[in-house]
Protein backbone atom coordinates (compact mmCIF):
# COMPACT_ATOMS: atom_id res chain seq x y z
CA UNK A 1 0.00 0.00 0.00
CA UNK A 2 2.67 2.43 1.05
CA UNK A 3 4.78 1.66 -1.97
CA UNK A 4 1.77 2.19 -4.22
CA UNK A 5 1.19 5.64 -2.75
CA UNK A 6 4.83 6.50 -2.94
CA UNK A 7 4.81 5.44 -6.56
CA UNK A 8 1.85 7.66 -7.35
CA UNK A 9 3.39 10.64 -5.62
CA UNK A 10 6.63 10.03 -7.44
CA UNK A 11 5.09 9.89 -10.86
CA UNK A 12 3.17 13.10 -10.10
CA UNK A 13 6.39 14.77 -9.03
CA UNK A 14 7.99 13.72 -12.30
CA UNK A 15 5.12 15.17 -14.28
CA UNK A 16 5.37 18.49 -12.46
CA UNK A 17 9.12 18.61 -12.92
CA UNK A 18 8.75 17.77 -16.57
CA UNK A 19 6.14 20.48 -17.03
CA UNK A 20 8.36 23.11 -15.42
CA UNK A 21 11.42 22.18 -17.46
CA UNK A 22 9.38 21.86 -20.64
CA UNK A 23 7.85 25.30 -20.35
CA UNK A 24 11.12 26.98 -19.47
CA UNK A 25 12.97 25.29 -22.31
CA UNK A 26 10.34 25.74 -25.00
CA UNK A 27 12.55 28.15 -26.93
CA UNK A 28 15.07 25.40 -27.50
CA UNK A 29 15.60 23.49 -30.68
CA UNK A 30 12.84 20.87 -30.63
CA UNK A 31 10.35 23.71 -30.72
CA UNK A 32 11.87 24.76 -34.03
CA UNK A 33 11.66 21.19 -35.26
CA UNK A 34 8.03 20.88 -34.08
CA UNK A 35 8.66 17.40 -32.72
CA UNK A 36 6.16 15.51 -30.58
CA UNK A 37 6.62 12.75 -28.05
CA UNK A 38 6.86 9.31 -29.58
CA UNK A 39 4.41 7.04 -27.71
CA UNK A 40 6.31 3.94 -26.58
CA UNK A 41 9.56 5.72 -27.39
CA UNK A 42 11.24 8.81 -25.93
CA UNK A 43 9.33 11.96 -25.08
CA UNK A 44 10.65 15.43 -25.88
CA UNK A 45 13.05 16.46 -23.08
CA UNK A 46 12.14 13.32 -21.14
CA UNK A 47 13.59 13.50 -17.62
CA UNK A 48 13.02 9.99 -16.32
CA UNK A 49 12.70 6.44 -17.60
CA UNK A 50 10.02 5.46 -20.10
CA UNK A 51 6.53 4.82 -18.71
CA UNK A 52 6.55 1.18 -17.61
CA UNK A 53 4.57 -1.38 -19.60
CA UNK A 54 5.74 -4.44 -17.68
CA UNK A 55 5.86 -5.30 -13.98
CA UNK A 56 9.64 -5.50 -14.12
CA UNK A 57 9.98 -2.03 -15.64
CA UNK A 58 7.63 -0.72 -12.95
CA UNK A 59 9.81 -2.29 -10.27
CA UNK A 60 12.88 -0.75 -11.89
CA UNK A 61 11.23 2.69 -11.73
CA UNK A 62 10.37 2.15 -8.12
CA UNK A 63 13.92 1.05 -7.30
CA UNK A 64 15.32 4.07 -9.11
CA UNK A 65 13.13 6.47 -7.16
CA UNK A 66 13.93 4.64 -3.95
CA UNK A 67 17.67 4.96 -4.62
CA UNK A 68 17.34 8.57 -5.83
CA UNK A 69 15.56 9.62 -2.66
CA UNK A 70 18.08 7.94 -0.36
CA UNK A 71 20.96 9.44 -2.34
CA UNK A 72 19.37 12.90 -2.38
CA UNK A 73 18.78 12.81 1.38
CA UNK A 74 22.40 11.79 1.96
CA UNK A 75 23.61 14.43 -0.48
CA UNK A 76 21.60 17.22 1.11
CA UNK A 77 22.59 16.16 4.62
CA UNK A 78 26.31 15.82 3.88
CA UNK A 79 26.59 19.00 1.87
CA UNK A 80 24.31 20.86 4.24
CA UNK A 81 26.95 20.19 6.88
CA UNK A 82 29.76 21.14 4.52
CA UNK A 83 28.23 24.42 3.40
CA UNK A 84 27.21 25.28 6.96
CA UNK A 85 30.84 24.77 7.89
CA UNK A 86 32.03 26.82 4.91
CA UNK A 87 29.66 29.61 5.99
CA UNK A 88 30.43 29.56 9.70
CA UNK A 89 34.03 28.40 9.96
CA UNK A 90 35.63 30.95 7.71
CA UNK A 91 38.76 32.83 8.56
CA UNK A 92 37.15 36.03 7.25
CA UNK A 93 34.50 35.91 9.99
CA UNK A 94 37.27 35.33 12.51
CA UNK A 95 36.75 31.66 13.20
CA UNK A 96 39.74 30.12 14.99
CA UNK A 97 40.69 26.56 14.01
CA UNK A 98 39.94 23.78 16.48
CA UNK A 99 42.55 21.15 17.17
CA UNK A 100 40.73 17.80 16.98
CA UNK A 101 41.78 15.45 14.24
CA UNK A 102 40.35 12.07 15.11
CA UNK A 103 37.49 10.39 16.92
CA UNK A 104 37.28 6.62 16.85
CA UNK A 105 33.60 6.62 17.82
CA UNK A 106 32.59 8.98 15.04
CA UNK A 107 34.70 7.16 12.49
CA UNK A 108 33.22 3.78 13.39
CA UNK A 109 29.73 5.28 13.26
CA UNK A 110 30.14 6.67 9.79
CA UNK A 111 31.48 3.35 8.57
CA UNK A 112 28.68 1.27 10.11
CA UNK A 113 25.77 3.55 9.15
CA UNK A 114 26.57 3.62 5.40
CA UNK A 115 27.06 -0.15 5.58
CA UNK A 116 23.54 -0.55 6.98
CA UNK A 117 22.13 1.82 4.35
CA UNK A 118 23.80 -0.26 1.63
CA UNK A 119 22.17 -3.41 3.02
CA UNK A 120 18.83 -1.61 2.97
CA UNK A 121 19.40 -0.78 -0.68
CA UNK A 122 20.49 -4.28 -1.61
CA UNK A 123 17.38 -6.08 -0.27
CA UNK A 124 14.71 -4.71 -2.64
CA UNK A 125 17.22 -4.77 -5.50
CA UNK A 126 17.78 -8.48 -4.95
CA UNK A 127 14.06 -9.20 -5.15
CA UNK A 128 13.67 -7.43 -8.50
CA UNK A 129 16.84 -8.94 -9.91
CA UNK A 130 15.74 -12.49 -9.17
CA UNK A 131 12.33 -11.88 -10.80
CA UNK A 132 13.98 -10.24 -13.77
CA UNK A 133 16.20 -13.27 -14.43
CA UNK A 134 13.38 -15.85 -14.36
CA UNK A 135 12.82 -16.73 -18.02
CA UNK A 136 10.96 -20.00 -17.37
CA UNK A 137 7.40 -20.87 -18.46
CA UNK A 138 7.28 -18.56 -21.46
CA UNK A 139 4.21 -18.51 -23.72
CA UNK A 140 6.18 -17.49 -26.76
CA UNK A 141 9.90 -17.67 -27.51
CA UNK A 142 11.49 -15.40 -30.08
CA UNK A 143 15.09 -15.60 -31.13
CA UNK A 144 16.53 -12.20 -32.03
CA UNK A 145 19.74 -12.15 -34.02
CA UNK A 146 21.84 -9.00 -34.16
CA UNK A 147 23.43 -8.46 -37.53
CA UNK A 148 25.43 -5.56 -38.87
CA UNK A 149 23.07 -3.61 -38.96
CA UNK A 150 19.61 -5.07 -38.60
CA UNK A 151 17.67 -7.44 -36.41
CA UNK A 152 16.48 -10.93 -37.37
CA UNK A 153 13.44 -12.31 -35.52
CA UNK A 154 12.67 -16.05 -35.45
CA UNK A 155 9.55 -17.22 -33.65
CA UNK A 156 10.89 -20.51 -32.33
CA UNK A 157 8.24 -21.70 -29.87
CA UNK A 158 4.59 -20.91 -29.22
CA UNK A 159 1.91 -19.47 -31.46
CA UNK A 160 3.49 -18.33 -34.69
CA UNK A 161 6.29 -20.87 -34.52
CA UNK A 162 8.27 -20.86 -37.74
CA UNK A 163 7.74 -17.21 -38.57
CA UNK A 164 11.04 -15.55 -39.39
CA UNK A 165 11.86 -12.14 -40.79
CA UNK A 166 14.41 -9.35 -40.73
CA UNK A 167 13.76 -5.86 -39.40
CA UNK A 168 15.65 -2.90 -40.87
CA UNK A 169 15.58 0.87 -40.43
CA UNK A 170 13.51 2.73 -42.99
CA UNK A 171 15.97 3.75 -45.68
CA UNK A 172 14.41 7.17 -46.17
CA UNK A 173 15.34 8.03 -42.58
CA UNK A 174 18.89 6.76 -43.07
CA UNK A 175 19.21 9.00 -46.11
CA UNK A 176 17.73 11.88 -44.12
CA UNK A 177 20.43 11.39 -41.48
CA UNK A 178 23.18 11.49 -44.12
CA UNK A 179 21.72 14.69 -45.55
CA UNK A 180 22.20 16.58 -42.31
CA UNK A 181 19.13 15.38 -40.45
CA UNK A 182 15.46 16.26 -40.62
CA UNK A 183 14.65 19.81 -41.70
CA UNK A 184 12.69 22.04 -39.34
CA UNK A 185 8.98 21.40 -39.56
CA UNK A 186 9.28 18.07 -41.34
CA UNK A 187 10.98 15.97 -38.69
CA UNK A 188 9.18 12.65 -38.23
CA UNK A 189 8.38 11.85 -34.59
CA UNK A 190 9.79 8.37 -35.15
CA UNK A 191 13.07 9.62 -36.65
CA UNK A 192 15.56 6.69 -36.50
CA UNK A 193 12.85 4.42 -35.05
CA UNK A 194 10.88 3.46 -38.17
CA UNK A 195 11.44 -0.11 -39.35
CA UNK A 196 10.02 -2.19 -42.21
CA UNK A 197 8.96 -5.24 -40.14
CA UNK A 198 8.26 -4.73 -36.44
CA UNK A 199 8.33 -7.65 -34.03
CA UNK A 200 4.70 -8.47 -33.14
CA UNK A 201 3.76 -10.05 -29.81
CA UNK A 202 0.50 -10.70 -27.95
CA UNK A 203 -0.40 -8.62 -24.90
CA UNK A 204 -0.24 -10.17 -21.40
CA UNK A 205 1.80 -13.16 -22.52
CA UNK A 206 5.23 -14.02 -21.23
CA UNK A 207 7.61 -13.52 -24.13
CA UNK A 208 11.07 -15.02 -23.84
CA UNK A 209 13.68 -13.32 -25.99
CA UNK A 210 16.72 -15.37 -26.93
CA UNK A 211 19.54 -13.21 -28.20
CA UNK A 212 22.49 -14.08 -30.39
CA UNK A 213 24.44 -12.36 -33.13
CA UNK A 214 25.99 -13.11 -36.49
CA UNK A 215 29.05 -10.88 -36.42
CA UNK A 216 29.81 -8.63 -33.44
CA UNK A 217 28.09 -7.93 -30.12
CA UNK A 218 24.82 -6.01 -30.27
CA UNK A 219 22.31 -5.38 -27.50
CA UNK A 220 18.55 -5.81 -27.69
CA UNK A 221 16.80 -3.22 -25.55
CA UNK A 222 13.26 -1.91 -25.13
CA UNK A 223 13.20 0.63 -22.28
CA UNK A 224 9.42 0.49 -21.75
CA UNK A 225 9.70 -3.25 -21.03
CA UNK A 226 12.77 -2.84 -18.81
CA UNK A 227 14.84 -5.25 -20.86
CA UNK A 228 18.36 -4.99 -22.24
CA UNK A 229 20.31 -8.05 -23.24
CA UNK A 230 23.56 -8.24 -25.19
CA UNK A 231 23.36 -10.31 -28.37
CA UNK A 232 26.67 -12.15 -28.52
CA UNK A 233 27.94 -14.06 -31.56
CA UNK A 234 28.46 -17.75 -30.82
CA UNK A 235 26.39 -17.60 -27.64
CA UNK A 236 22.74 -17.50 -26.71
CA UNK A 237 21.44 -15.42 -23.83
CA UNK A 238 17.86 -14.75 -22.81
CA UNK A 239 15.55 -12.25 -21.17
CA UNK A 240 11.80 -11.88 -20.95
CA UNK A 241 8.88 -9.46 -20.75
CA UNK A 242 5.12 -9.54 -20.34
CA UNK A 243 3.72 -6.36 -21.90
CA UNK A 244 0.51 -5.23 -20.24
CA UNK A 245 -0.57 -2.60 -22.70
CA UNK A 246 -1.32 -2.74 -26.41
CA UNK A 247 0.82 -0.33 -28.40
CA UNK A 248 4.08 0.31 -30.23
CA UNK A 249 7.30 0.26 -28.24
CA UNK A 250 10.68 1.37 -29.42
CA UNK A 251 14.28 0.66 -28.55
CA UNK A 252 17.71 0.86 -30.12
CA UNK A 253 20.86 -1.25 -30.29
CA UNK A 254 22.82 -0.52 -27.12
CA UNK A 255 26.27 -2.03 -27.76
CA UNK A 256 28.75 -0.45 -30.16
CA UNK A 257 28.63 -2.65 -33.26
CA UNK A 258 30.39 -0.68 -35.96
CA UNK A 259 29.60 2.28 -38.13
CA UNK A 260 25.81 1.89 -38.43
CA UNK A 261 25.37 1.33 -34.68
CA UNK A 262 22.91 4.22 -34.44
CA UNK A 263 20.80 2.84 -37.26
CA UNK A 264 19.41 -0.50 -36.08
CA UNK A 265 16.29 0.31 -34.08
CA UNK A 266 13.92 -2.13 -32.43
CA UNK A 267 10.16 -1.83 -32.82
CA UNK A 268 7.87 -4.15 -30.87
CA UNK A 269 4.16 -4.06 -31.61
CA UNK A 270 2.04 -5.37 -28.74
CA UNK A 271 -1.39 -6.51 -29.99
CA UNK A 272 -4.45 -8.31 -28.59
CA UNK A 273 -4.54 -12.12 -28.68
CA UNK A 274 -7.01 -12.08 -31.58
CA UNK A 275 -4.97 -9.58 -33.58
CA UNK A 276 -1.90 -11.65 -32.89
CA UNK A 277 -3.53 -14.80 -34.26
CA UNK A 278 -4.64 -12.89 -37.32
CA UNK A 279 -1.11 -11.57 -37.77
CA UNK A 280 0.32 -15.08 -37.44
CA UNK A 281 -2.12 -16.41 -40.03
CA UNK A 282 -1.32 -13.58 -42.39
CA UNK A 283 2.37 -13.96 -41.86
CA UNK A 284 2.23 -17.72 -42.45
CA UNK A 285 0.35 -17.23 -45.70
CA UNK A 286 2.76 -14.52 -46.73
CA UNK A 287 5.72 -16.72 -45.96
CA UNK A 288 4.28 -19.68 -47.83
CA UNK A 289 3.54 -17.42 -50.76
CA UNK A 290 7.03 -16.07 -50.67
CA UNK A 291 8.47 -19.57 -50.48
CA UNK A 292 6.71 -20.82 -53.59
CA UNK A 293 3.87 -19.53 -55.64
CA UNK A 294 1.63 -22.63 -56.10
CA UNK A 295 0.05 -21.20 -59.22
CA UNK A 296 3.37 -21.09 -61.03
CA UNK A 297 3.51 -23.28 -64.13
CA UNK A 298 6.76 -25.24 -64.26
CA UNK A 299 8.71 -26.77 -67.14
CA UNK A 300 9.45 -30.48 -66.80
CA UNK A 301 13.24 -30.19 -66.56
CA UNK A 302 13.06 -27.62 -63.73
CA UNK A 303 10.45 -29.54 -61.83
CA UNK A 304 12.35 -32.79 -62.20
CA UNK A 305 15.56 -31.21 -60.94
CA UNK A 306 13.72 -29.92 -57.88
CA UNK A 307 11.99 -33.23 -57.40
CA UNK A 308 15.30 -35.03 -57.32
CA UNK A 309 16.28 -32.97 -54.29
CA UNK A 310 12.97 -33.58 -52.56
CA UNK A 311 13.29 -37.28 -53.28
CA UNK A 312 16.83 -37.34 -51.89
CA UNK A 313 15.74 -35.56 -48.74
CA UNK A 314 12.52 -37.46 -48.01
CA UNK A 315 12.02 -40.63 -50.04
CA UNK A 316 15.35 -42.21 -50.76
CA UNK A 317 15.76 -43.85 -47.36
CA UNK A 318 12.90 -46.27 -48.09
CA UNK A 319 12.33 -46.30 -51.82
CA UNK A 320 16.07 -46.33 -52.56
CA UNK A 321 17.95 -44.39 -55.20
CA UNK A 322 17.03 -47.10 -57.70
CA UNK A 323 13.31 -46.56 -57.01
CA UNK A 324 12.98 -50.30 -56.44
CA UNK A 325 12.22 -50.19 -52.71
CA UNK A 326 12.69 -53.54 -50.99
CA UNK A 327 10.75 -55.84 -48.67
CA UNK A 328 7.54 -54.16 -47.58
CA UNK A 329 8.54 -50.96 -49.36
CA UNK A 330 6.89 -50.80 -52.73
CA UNK A 331 8.92 -50.14 -55.84
CA UNK A 332 8.26 -46.86 -57.65
CA UNK A 333 10.12 -47.94 -60.75
CA UNK A 334 7.47 -49.47 -62.94
CA UNK A 335 4.73 -48.93 -60.34
CA UNK A 336 1.23 -48.82 -61.81
CA UNK A 337 0.17 -45.92 -59.61
CA UNK A 338 3.16 -43.88 -60.68
CA UNK A 339 2.71 -44.66 -64.34
CA UNK A 340 -1.04 -44.01 -64.28
CA UNK A 341 -2.19 -41.08 -66.39
CA UNK A 342 -4.59 -40.16 -63.56
CA UNK A 343 -2.38 -37.99 -61.34
CA UNK A 344 -4.99 -38.09 -58.58
CA UNK A 345 -4.04 -41.59 -57.41
CA UNK A 346 -0.44 -40.77 -56.61
CA UNK A 347 -1.34 -37.34 -55.21
CA UNK A 348 -3.80 -38.95 -52.81
CA UNK A 349 -1.17 -41.36 -51.52
CA UNK A 350 1.34 -38.60 -50.94
CA UNK A 351 -1.15 -36.35 -49.18
CA UNK A 352 -2.79 -39.04 -47.05
CA UNK A 353 -0.29 -41.89 -46.80
CA UNK A 354 -1.00 -45.57 -47.50
CA UNK A 355 -0.67 -49.05 -46.01
CA UNK A 356 -1.72 -47.90 -42.53
CA UNK A 357 1.05 -45.36 -42.34
CA UNK A 358 3.86 -47.52 -43.68
CA UNK A 359 3.81 -44.84 -46.34
CA UNK A 360 3.42 -41.64 -44.27
CA UNK A 361 1.34 -38.63 -45.26
CA UNK A 362 3.57 -35.91 -46.74
CA UNK A 363 1.15 -33.01 -46.58
CA UNK A 364 3.64 -30.95 -44.57
CA UNK A 365 5.66 -30.53 -47.74
CA UNK A 366 4.71 -27.61 -49.93
CA UNK A 367 2.59 -28.00 -53.05
CA UNK A 368 5.56 -27.25 -55.21
CA UNK A 369 7.76 -29.84 -53.49
CA UNK A 370 5.08 -32.49 -53.80
CA UNK A 371 4.41 -31.68 -57.43
CA UNK A 372 8.13 -31.80 -58.11
CA UNK A 373 8.73 -35.14 -56.47
CA UNK A 374 5.73 -36.72 -58.22
CA UNK A 375 6.92 -35.41 -61.58
CA UNK A 376 10.36 -36.75 -60.81
CA UNK A 377 9.14 -40.28 -60.10
CA UNK A 378 7.04 -40.21 -63.23
CA UNK A 379 10.07 -39.44 -65.37
CA UNK A 380 12.95 -41.33 -63.80
CA UNK A 381 14.40 -44.82 -64.02
CA UNK A 382 12.35 -46.75 -66.54
CA UNK A 383 9.33 -44.48 -65.90
CA UNK A 384 9.47 -42.20 -68.90
CA UNK A 385 5.83 -41.07 -68.98
CA UNK A 386 6.48 -37.47 -69.97
CA UNK A 387 3.70 -36.55 -67.50
CA UNK A 388 4.05 -33.25 -65.68
CA UNK A 389 2.25 -32.52 -62.38
CA UNK A 390 1.88 -28.83 -61.61
CA UNK A 391 1.66 -27.42 -58.02
CA UNK A 392 -1.82 -26.15 -58.82
CA UNK A 393 -3.07 -29.75 -58.98
CA UNK A 394 -1.77 -30.36 -55.46
CA UNK A 395 -3.39 -27.17 -54.25
CA UNK A 396 -6.68 -28.31 -55.76
CA UNK A 397 -6.32 -31.81 -54.29
CA UNK A 398 -5.81 -30.44 -50.77
CA UNK A 399 -9.24 -28.77 -50.73
Partner 1 sequence: MSAVLDPKGHAGDHAHDEHHDHGAPVGWRRWVFATNHKDIGTLYLLFAFFNLMFGGVLALGIRAELFQPGLQLVNPELFNQLTTMHGLIMVFGAIMPAFVGFANWMIPLQIGAADMAFARLNNFSFWLMIPAALMLATSFFLPGGAPAAGWTLYAPLTLQMGPSMDSGIFALHLLGASSIMGSINIIVTILNMRAPGMTLMKMPMFCWTWLITAYLLIAVMPVLAGAITMTLTDRHFGTSFFNPAGGGDPVMYQHIFWFFGHPEVYIMILPAFGIISHIIPAFSRKRLFGYASMVYATGSIAILSFVVWAHHMFTTGMPVTGQLFFMYSTMLIAVPTGVKVFNWIATMWKGSMTFETPMLFAIGFIFVFTIGGLTGVILSVAPIDTQLQDTYYVVAHFHYVLVAGSLYAMFAGYYYWAPKWTGVMYSETRGKIHFWLSLIFFNITFFPMHFLGLAGMPRRYADYPMQFADFNMVASIGAFGFGFAQVYFFLAIVVPAMRGKGEPAKANPWVDESGKGAEGLEWQVPSPAPFHTFETPPKLDATATRVIG
Residues 60-89 that bind partner 1 (CB under 8 A): 60, 63-64, 67-68, 71, 74-75, 78-79, 81-82, 85-86, 89
Is residue 58 a contact point for partner 1 (CB under 8 A)? Answer: no
DSSP conformation letters of 205-216: S-EEEEEEESSS
Is residue 381 a contact point for partner 1 (CB under 8 A)? Answer: no
Closest to 349 (Cα-Cα) out of 368, 326, 325, 332:
332
Report CA torsion sign: 225, 230, 231, 236.
negative
Interface with partner 1 (CB under 8 A), residue from 10, 53, 56, 207: 56
Query: Under DSSP, is residue 189 helix (H, G, I), strand (E, B) or coil?
Result: coil
How far apart are CB 263 and partner 1 at their closest, in Å?
Answer: 8
Cβ-in-10-Å burial (0-12, 13-18, 19+) of 307 comes to buried
Interface with partner 1 (CB under 8 A), residue from 132, 167, 335, 390: 132
Is residue 44 a contact point for partner 1 (CB under 8 A)? Answer: yes
**280 close to 159: Cβ distance less than 8 angstroms:** yes
The 3-class SS string of 283-301 reads: HHHHHHHHHCCCCCCCCHH
Interface with partner 1 (CB under 8 A), residue from 19, 115, 288, 322: 115
Sort residue 203 into left (φ over 0), alpha (ψ -120 to 50) or beta.
Answer: beta
Q: Which of residues 5-34 bind partner 1 (CB under 8 A)?
A: 25, 28-30, 33
Is residue 126 a contact point for partner 1 (CB under 8 A)? Answer: yes
Q: Which of residues 321-360 bind partner 1 (CB under 8 A)?
A: none
Cβ-based neighbours of 65, under 8 Å, separated by 6 or more: 6, 7, 10
Cα distance between residue 322 and residue 373, in whole Å: 15
Cα distance between residue 104 and residue 215, in whole Å: 57
- Pick the piece of the chain touching partner 1 (CB under 8 A) from 3-11, 236-244, 273-281, 334-342: 236-244
Is residue 399 a contact point for partner 1 (CB under 8 A)? Answer: no
Is residue 234 a contact point for partner 1 (CB under 8 A)? Answer: yes
Interface with partner 1 (CB under 8 A), residue from 37, 161, 196, 286: 37
How far apart are CB 4 and partner 1 at their closest, in Å?
Answer: 19
Cα distance between residue 131 and residue 56, in whole Å: 8
Is residue 114 a contact point for partner 1 (CB under 8 A)? Answer: yes
How far apart are CB 320 and partner 1 at their closest, in Å?
Answer: 39
For residue 9, what is the DSSP state? H
How far apart are CB 164 and partner 1 at their closest, in Å?
Answer: 21
Interface with partner 1 (CB under 8 A), residue from 8, 12, 45, 345: 45
Q: How far does Cα 354 stand from its chain's mean position?
A: 43
- Pick the piece of the chain touching partner 1 (CB under 8 A) from 119-127, 287-295, 304-312, 348-356: 119-127
Is residue 191 a contact point for partner 1 (CB under 8 A)? Answer: yes
Amino acid sequence: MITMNVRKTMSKTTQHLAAIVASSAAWLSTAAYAVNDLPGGPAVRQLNMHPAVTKIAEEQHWLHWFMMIICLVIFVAVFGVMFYSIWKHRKSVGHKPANFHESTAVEIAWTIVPFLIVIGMALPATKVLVAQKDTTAADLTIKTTGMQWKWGYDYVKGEGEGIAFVSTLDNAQRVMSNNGGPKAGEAPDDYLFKVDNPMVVPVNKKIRIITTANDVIHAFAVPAFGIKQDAIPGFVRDTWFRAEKIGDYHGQCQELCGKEHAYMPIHVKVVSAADYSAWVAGKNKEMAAKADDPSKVWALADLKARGEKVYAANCVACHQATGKGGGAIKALDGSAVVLDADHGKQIAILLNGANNGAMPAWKALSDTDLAAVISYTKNNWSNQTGQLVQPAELQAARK
